[in-house]
């Protein structure tokens, strides 16, 4: 019997300039926020001292995710179809809805479950995101072995 294996379906990275995002926020304000970021992302950023840095990391994550999906920001993917939330531990998580979720489902081989990993970092004036989309066989325990 052939054993199913984990596999990488896509990788994406992006680098965003925090000062550019700050200038965009100053110029377009809520119009920019509401077009690109979900309500949850906006709540998170509004609680942060470095609001522009928080938005820049999420901007980079959306760009990186669209690249990992193999589409970039075309083919119907909307900015809000990709969002970043955080676990209680602070670890960022990528959530996909709409066309981004449809694309993810299309990429995922039968008998596998897709996991979208995201890593965020910033060092003013730069914010960076790295996204890896992994497919694991259904029922595979994601915890490392002994």
Is this structure's pTM higher than 0.75? yes
Alpha-carbon gap, residue 32 to 140, rounded angstroms: 40
121-143 residue pLDDT tens: 999 999 999 999 999 999 865 54
pLDDT of 76 = 67
Domain-located, residue 95: yes
In a domain, 22, yes or no: yes
Q: Domain for residue 2, yes or no? A: no
Residue 1 lies in a domain: no
Domain that holds residue 79: 7-137
In a domain, 85, yes or no: yes
* Phi–psi pair at 136, nearest 5 degrees: -115, 145
User: Residue 142 falls within a domain, yes or no?
Assistant: no
Say how many Å lie between the first and final Cα of the chain, rounded.
Answer: 25
Distance (Å, whole) CA 36 – CA 78: 8
Residue 28: CATH number of its domain: 3.90.470.20
Residue 144 in any domain: the answer is: no
Q: What is the pLDDT of residues 12-39, one digit of tens each?
A: 999 999 999 999 999 999 999 999 999 9
45-101 residue pLDDT tens: 999 999 999 999 999 999 999 999 998 777 667 899 999 999 999 999 999 999 999
How many structural domains comprise the chain?
1
């Amino acid at each position: 019997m052939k054993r199913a294996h984990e596999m990488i379906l896509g990788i994406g990275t992006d680098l965003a300039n925090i000062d550019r995002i700050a200038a965009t926020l100053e110029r377009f304000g809520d119009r920019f926020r509401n077009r690109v970021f979900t309500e949850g992302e906006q709540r998170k950023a509004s609680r942060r001292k470095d609001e522009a840095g928080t938005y820049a990391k999420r901007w980079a994550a959306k760009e990186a995710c669209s690249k990992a999906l193999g589409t970039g920001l075309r083919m119907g993917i909307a900015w809000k179809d990709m969002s970043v939330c955080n676990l209680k531990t602070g670890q960022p998580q990528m959530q996909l809805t709409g066309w981004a979720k449809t694309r993810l489902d299309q990429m995922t081989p039968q008998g596998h479950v897709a996991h979208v990993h995201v890593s965020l970092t910033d060092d003013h004036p730069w914010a960076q995101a790295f996204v890896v989309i992994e497919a694991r066989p259904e029922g595979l325990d994601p915890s490392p072995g002994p």
